[in-house]
């Protein structure tokens, strides 16, 4: 085998190792990107769902309870005073 052939074989072996390493790096980056995106989507959904539910539930309960109590108390007081 000539030295030129040996050089070509050596070059392609180094290139193959470099390509394999590059592909592994790209594969790992895709995995990291996917897990990062999943974390962001899940945390955003949890925050948005919980905060909106808490706000809506609390505001509705406060409004409903207070308004009904005020109406009942005022009407009873007026009726009692007039009679």
pLDDT at 48: 53
pTM attached to this predicted model: 0.34
pLDDT tens by residue, 41-83: 665 555 555 555 554 454 544 444 444 444 445 554 455 555 5
Distance CA 68, CA 31 (A): 55
Distance CA 73, CA 78 (A): 9
């Amino acid at each position: 085998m000539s030295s030129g052939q040996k050089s070509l074989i050596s070059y392609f072996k180094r290139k193959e190792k470099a390509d394999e390493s590059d592909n592994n790096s790209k594969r790992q980056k895709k995995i990291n990107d996917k897990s990062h995106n999943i974390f962001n989507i899940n945390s955003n959904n949890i925050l948005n769902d919980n905060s909106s539910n808490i706000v809506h539930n609390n505001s509705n309960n406060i409004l409903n309870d207070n308004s009904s109590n005020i109406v009942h108390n005022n009407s009873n007081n007026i009726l009692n005073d007039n009679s």
